[in-house]
Amino acid sequence: MTTQIRSLEEYHKVYAHSVANPEAFWDEQARTFQWRKPWRETLRWNFREPKIKWFVGGKLNITENCLDRHLETRGKQVAMIWEPNDLKRKARKITYKQLHGLVCQFANALKAQGVKKGDRVCIYMPMTPELSIAVLACARIGAIHSVVFAGFSAVSVSDRIKDAQCSIVITSDFNSRGPKNIPVKQVIDEALAMGCDSVRNVIVHQNTGDALKMTEGRDLWWHDVVKGKRKSCKATAVDSEDELFILYTSGSTGKPKGVVHTQGGYMVYCEYTFRNVFQIQEGDVYWCTADVGWITGHSYIIYGPLLAGATALMFEGIPTYPDAGRFWDVIQRHKVSIFYTAPTAIRALMAAGDQWVKGRRMPSLRILGTVGEPINDEAWHWYNEKIGKKRCPIVDTWWQTETGGMMISPLAGITPLKPCLATLPLPGVQPCLVDANGHEIEGNDVEGMLCIKFPWPSIIRTTYGDHERCRQTYFATFKDKYFTGDGARRDVDGYYRIIGRVDDVINVSGHRIGTAEVEDAINKAPMVVESAVVGFPHDIKGQGIYAYVITSVPIADVAAFKKGVLDTVTKEIGPIAKPDVVQIVPGLPKTRSGKIMRRILRKIAEGDTSNLGDTTTLLNPEVVDEIKASRLVG
């Protein structure tokens, strides 16, 4: 187990050491894991190419660290509690020993299907234990998992399968989500019909058991492939810098890119941050409400808790089903002690009214956490008062898909809190603020673009199949710095407050969505000529999606047209990217070089049209007034 900081004084000491001597610091943490072969060199790096290698020459298997090494001491301890969506189904409890057996068995099944080290496997599944088992089974045999959130459309899944050239897809029959029963496997059928030639087989887990069409020779049932397979499987030793997984995420431009994380560094950082931020104790029941389809689920539903030997709860459903008291009911029933969720969920449940919390007894709660987007004052205080009863520290954890683990966050019960601030960097993290000219802004009470100056073990290594894109996106904006895409403020005490994205990424309900992606989708809708998408403040989602659309003909049935736009976005990306507002406009404000002036569109979307700045340099300044006028009517 990595070391656990116990006091503020110790944090400052450890932090100083981690900056003065990062290699010694991470070396000490890495030694606490099981390695098949020790590393020769702790770190080799430059941010120029970029080329970053941690624990060079080391060999390991992350699942031996998640499972095997706990068997002796924690074999009978529950590793995973599964709370199904449907209250009529029973919760499942899986011990470390059982999980080890199930992972080994499925790993053997994958091997029997010809999956080898380095092969890519796409996992498109609802939140069931088999999702975690599939992820870990891939890691067991050195295959690279690419989990795709089960809410993405067939087009999106197919793009991701093709980009990573996956040979196997693992899916489920249906996703039981709130009152809905979503045909997940059918989405895969549609995706594969779009020409995913690399895919040999589809393994289908029976979740709800509803009727399903299987394709002869291609589709295999999970229960059939595991039949007769042994519950032990020697883990494949992989190199520290071999790829562990690909996870697609949206950026300012183009299609989502495959963020690549590697084995050794990710393992060390995941466990260290999980243990320290949540101040894990024996007997904790930890619950992270994210989906495994996002990085939070990878790092803090599966890998972090298992590496730390903790008991983690996984929830299949949604916060409002069967009613807005579901989260609190689960906390009460399973005696959850650490609860980690997103501000958007807090806002939605706060809006549902206090009656859902009243009468619940949640004395087990010890620590609360948030992630994914800036939390607003009102939501923070509600969370603190109604859920934490003012006795549970709230850790506001800032990080990203690319960082692999939490970066700026309080240590629960140790770092003095300020509402809505992510507070201080974790050991090993060296943040800085930079101005538009790339100069570092020193001192406190300042604001700028958030960068990181030095590598941490789980930093992004590349974007799959396109290293240049990785360099361009993260390492080219500011010399010798990793650029996060976020703006931040450092207050008088040196505490960080994350303001939000400074690029063309919108954060909708904690989900990252690229404006360019949504525009590309909208442009495929009937009668659309061009579009521009911006974010605007939204009470529940944090940010909503506002789309300005130019049409090829005057639209008589506006409602039908807008429905066409939403349907197209759902088909191209998925329901999470559906615009909240679609405004038909005669033109878009453009600079003389043809660039859309999003700044103006953002202001209009926010409803703040009093000061739009200088519009005289526009190619078509008159269009601004027309957009303003048509906003008033619709």
Residues that bind ligand PRX (CB under 6 A): 249, 294-296, 371-374, 396-401, 422, 484-486, 498, 500-501, 507, 512
What is the smallest separation between the CB atom of 401 and ligand PRX, expressed in angstroms? 3
Cβ distance to ligand PRX smaller for residue 427 or 485: 485
One-letter amino acid at 47 equals: F
What is the smallest separation between the CB atom of 507 and ligand PRX, expressed in angstroms? 5
What is the smallest separation between the CB atom of 615 and ligand PRX, expressed in angstroms? 29
Q: Give all strands of the β-sheet with 394-397 in edge-to-edge order.
A: 92-95, 78-83, 311-315, 285-288, 338-341, 367-371, 394-397
Cβ distance to ligand PRX smaller for residue 42 or 509: 509
Cβ distance to ligand PRX smaller for residue 29 or 409: 409
Q: Enumerate residues 6+ apart whose C-beta is below 8 A from 11.
A: 5, 411, 414, 415, 424, 427
What gap in Å lies between CA 323 and CA 337, rounded to an integer? 22
Q: Enumerate residues 6+ apart whose C-beta is below 8 A from 472.
A: none
Cβ distance to ligand PRX smaller for residue 120 or 512: 512
Cβ distance to ligand PRX smaller for residue 176 or 249: 249
Which DSSP symbol is given to 89? Answer: S
What is the smallest separation between the CB atom of 93 and ligand PRX, expressed in angstroms? 27
Query: Do 631 and 564 meet the contact criterion of CB atoms below 8 Å apart?
Result: no
One-letter amino acid at 204 equals: V
What gap in Å lies between CA 446 and CA 433, rounded to an integer? 8
Within 13 Å of residue 380, how many CA atoms lie on the same side as its CB? 16
Q: By C-alpha distance, which of 252, 292, 295, 250 is closest to 160?
A: 250
Residues facing 53 on adjacent strands: 44
Q: How far is CA 31 from CA 11, 39, 48, 139, in A?
A: 20, 10, 29, 20
One-letter amino acid at 502 equals: V
Cβ distance to ligand PRX smaller for residue 68 or 373: 373
> Collapsing DSSP states into helix, strand and coil, what is residue 445?
coil
What is the smallest separation between the CB atom of 373 and ligand PRX, expressed in angstroms? 5
What is the smallest separation between the CB atom of 584 and ligand PRX, expressed in angstroms? 30
Within 13 Å of residue 159, how many CA atoms lie on the same side as its CB? 18
- Per-residue tokens: 560: 């039908």
Residue nearest ligand PRX, CB atom distance: 401
What is the smallest separation between the CB atom of 376 and ligand PRX, expressed in angstroms? 11
What gap in Å lies between CA 438 and CA 242, rounded to an integer? 33
Cβ distance to ligand PRX smaller for residue 299 or 531: 299
Cβ distance to ligand PRX smaller for residue 106 or 294: 294
**Pairs from 181-190 (Cβ < 8 Å, separation ≥ 24):** 181/208, 181/210, 182/126, 182/150, 184/124, 184/125, 184/126, 184/150, 185/212, 186/213, 187/124, 187/150, 187/153, 187/154, 187/157, 188/124, 188/154, 188/157, 189/213, 189/215, 190/154, 190/158
Cβ distance to ligand PRX smaller for residue 414 or 498: 498
Burial class (CB in 10 A: 0-12, 13-18, 19+), 489: middle
Cβ distance to ligand PRX smaller for residue 74 or 497: 497
Cβ distance to ligand PRX smaller for residue 208 or 462: 462
Rounded to 10 degrees, what is the CA torsion of 332, 337, 338, 343? 30
What is the smallest separation between the CB atom of 403 and ligand PRX, expressed in angstroms? 8
Cβ distance to ligand PRX smaller for residue 236 or 507: 507
What is the smallest separation between the CB atom of 149 and ligand PRX, expressed in angstroms? 10
What is the smallest separation between the CB atom of 173 and ligand PRX, expressed in angstroms? 28
Phi, psi at 62, each rounded to 5°: -65, -30
What gap in Å lies between CA 262 and CA 393, rounded to an integer? 32
What is the smallest separation between the CB atom of 460 and ligand PRX, expressed in angstroms? 10
Q: What is the DSSP string of 279-331?
A: T--TT-EEEE-S-TTSHHHIIIIIIHHHHTT-EEEEE-S-TTSS-TTHHHHHH
Cβ distance to ligand PRX smaller for residue 43 or 247: 247
One-letter amino acid at 78 equals: V
What is the smallest separation between the CB atom of 363 and ligand PRX, expressed in angstroms? 27
Cβ distance to ligand PRX smaller for residue 138 or 290: 290
Residue with tokens 């499942």: 92
What gap in Å lies between CA 601 and CA 607, rounded to an integer? 10
What is the smallest separation between the CB atom of 579 and ligand PRX, expressed in angstroms? 19
What is the smallest separation between the CB atom of 508 and ligand PRX, expressed in angstroms? 11
What gap in Å lies between CA 72 and CA 144, rounded to an integer? 28
Cβ distance to ligand PRX smaller for residue 235 or 394: 394
What is the smallest separation between the CB atom of 291 and ligand PRX, expressed in angstroms? 11
What gap in Å lies between CA 461 and CA 262, rounded to an integer? 7
